[in-house]
Amino acid sequence: MPPFTVTILGSSSALPTLTRFPTSQVVNLNERLYLIDCGEGTQVQLRRFGIKAGKINHIFISHLHGDHIFGLPGLISTMALGGKKGELHIYSHSELRMMMEQLMKFINEFDDFKVVYHPLNFRTRAVIFEDSKLVIESFPLKHRIPCCGFLFREKKRELHLRGDLMEYLKIPIKERVAIKNGADYLHSDGNIIPNADLTFPPDPVRSYAFCTDTVPRKQIIPIISKVDLLYHEATFCDNLRDLALKTYHTTSKQAAELAAEAEVKKLIIGHFSSRYKSVSPLVDEARSVFPDTFPANDGERFDV
Amino acid sequence: MPPFTVTILGSSSALPTLTRFPTSQVVNLNERLYLIDCGEGTQVQLRRFGIKAGKINHIFISHLHGDHIFGLPGLISTMALGGKKGELHIYSHSELRMMMEQLMKFINEFDDFKVVYHPLNFRTRAVIFEDSKLVIESFPLKHRIPCCGFLFREKKRELHLRGDLMEYLKIPIKERVAIKNGADYLHSDGNIIPNADLTFPPDPVRSYAFCTDTVPRKQIIPIISKVDLLYHEATFCDNLRDLALKTYHTTSKQAAELAAEAEVKKLIIGHFSSRYKSVSPLVDEARSVFPDTFPANDGERFDV
């Protein structure tokens, strides 16, 4: 199967610390890179973890709080200095564009690539990106300002051909393409050979859901149901549940409860309040509800 | 003498590296902190080097290129979260205000402190800040966009009283204040005792000049003449003199020549192009002209 990974670039909440930058992640599906959120210092983290900024062509912004966007101008400036070509697509609230166009005045002119803005809809689930391998959807979260999560889902894969039968029956190449996509085969002797006899099942499709800056939200459960990997914010421990609610955040226990109810395979928690010098209490609390919980740490890479 | 130091927070040019953030420095005069420029990640560097962001009340911005300003929104956001009170004064090109006011929409509301913008004049030398201890002037540099340097100069200090004579002559406290400021003393016997007999000379005043993002500019020599410490950009070695000129920067040799001609006491060079994995060639080149040259390194502190 092609690699499908998530690298954590920043795992703190609004206040960065010496070991945790503000929110940013890179999703890598088969060497195509997708950036989620872009807190201050994202370009430095990319460099630190050996990821080429210029290879990123799509950036997804969950919401317009500073700790999720203040790395954008520097990143784009560095892309321009690095000679990036083509288009950079940014998916975000429509207001980002105005801010960025103000800021672009302070970056050296660049002509070789173009920034294309795609406004997100924060009221309903929607497909926002699609290519031959991947579908990305946004879905509403609930924070102090419009905010959404992102669901990365591989597309249904082709069936695997049974090579022995292809040879034996001398099936032509163009027929094989149809069989990979599910067609039966009409043999020259008039018999129809069912697809199931000619193929093995496709690799399973993998999925990653990213949910940050939100109150715990039952409505997302059908959307994130059974994903291979769920990132959910867990800003506070559950003894600060009132503060979490007041600031529209989630506690570690609440994140784990969502993961359990959605029957996801693995949970990453992050967006930790800087009050936690160690995140062990947050991890322990989540694991007591959902054992397959792991903390986001800057530089760490998770397989989806 | 009260401490007067400069701490380097960032020493790279436009592209940050793993060891060099973009331009920013903190000047500390007797525990009052003045920030010069604010590249992306300045707030992280402050934290790394143990400097409290909340203690900064004055920020001086040389020019509006991204690598000198993109740390401002995050820094201000962090100040707000840290409960800063009072006023934060920013001295910059007038256009910064518009950009910042756009960005402030993306920061949590804060009421406890106010940002006050002071537009700079980029055509002539001008006093832009003054208190009982310090005068700060701006002066024009020459870059692709309006840009200025900053001169930090201690104010003339009080004379030191000769304690022995104060006691012997029983000079009252209020007269002593006048003597510290240069007055002679009229003794009760009718004799005038000249100030020079009653005092020792004051401590020398110290001065620091900051010059970045500029072609080498002879016009600044009278302004930076004999300063104790000069920071001058040296983006390239002299074999790239044409590139330096084209991009409105200075070579290491040219920076050293300015330092020598202005008879400064010590030179710091910085704003290094990321092409230099080691800055030794830049330092060696400058030292061949001006021996008391030191490289800016992130986290390093220089006494003025």
* pLDDT level of residue A111 (50, 70, 90 thresholds): confident
Which chain B residue is nearest to residue A15, measuring alpha carbons? B78
pTM for this prediction: 0.89
pLDDT reported for residue B63? 97
Q: Which residues contact B96 (CB under 8 A, 6 or more apart)?
A: B61, B64, B69, B72, B90, B117
Average pLDDT over residues B35-46: 97
- A contact set with B (CB within 8 A): 14-18, 21-22, 40-41, 43-44, 47-48, 64-67, 69-71, 73-74, 77-78, 81-82, 95, 98-99, 102-103, 105-108
Percent of chain B with pLDDT over 70: 99
Residue found by looking up tokens 């949590």 in the block: B108
**Spatial distance between the Cα atoms of A64 and B247, rounded to a whole number of angstroms:** 34
* pLDDT level of residue A289 (50, 70, 90 thresholds): very high
The SS3 call for residue A78 is helix
Average pLDDT over residues A11-22: 94
**Spatial distance between the Cα atoms of A143 and A235, rounded to a whole number of angstroms:** 13
Query: Residue B301 carries which side chain, given as an amino acid letter?
Result: R
Which among B21, B44, B73 has the least Cβ separation from residue A16? B44
Average pLDDT over residues A77-91: 93
- Domains of chain B, first to last: 4-157+203-303 (3.60.15.10), 160-200 (no CATH)
Q: Which residues contact B291 (CB under 8 A, 6 or more apart)?
A: none
- B contact set with A (CB within 8 A): 14-18, 21-22, 40-41, 43-44, 47-48, 64-67, 69-71, 73-74, 77-78, 81-82, 95, 98-99, 102-103, 105-108
> Do B17 and A70 make contact, defined as CB atoms within 8 angstroms?
no
Percent of chain B with pLDDT over 90: 83
> Largest Cα–Cα distance of chain A, in whole Å?
74
Q: Which of A2-16, A87-101, A107-121 has the lowest mean pLDDT?
A: A107-121
Which chain A residue is nearest to residue B45, measuring alpha carbons? A18
Catalytic residue chosen out of the listed positions A67, A228, A238, A298: A67
Comparison of pLDDT for A104 and A182, the residue scoring more:
A182
> Do A106 and B14 make contact, defined as CB atoms within 8 angstroms?
no
**Spatial distance between the Cα atoms of B284 and B158, rounded to a whole number of angstroms:** 40
pLDDT reported for residue A108? 65
> Do B67 and A47 make contact, defined as CB atoms within 8 angstroms?
no
**Most confident of the ranges A113-117, A131-135, A261-265:** A261-265
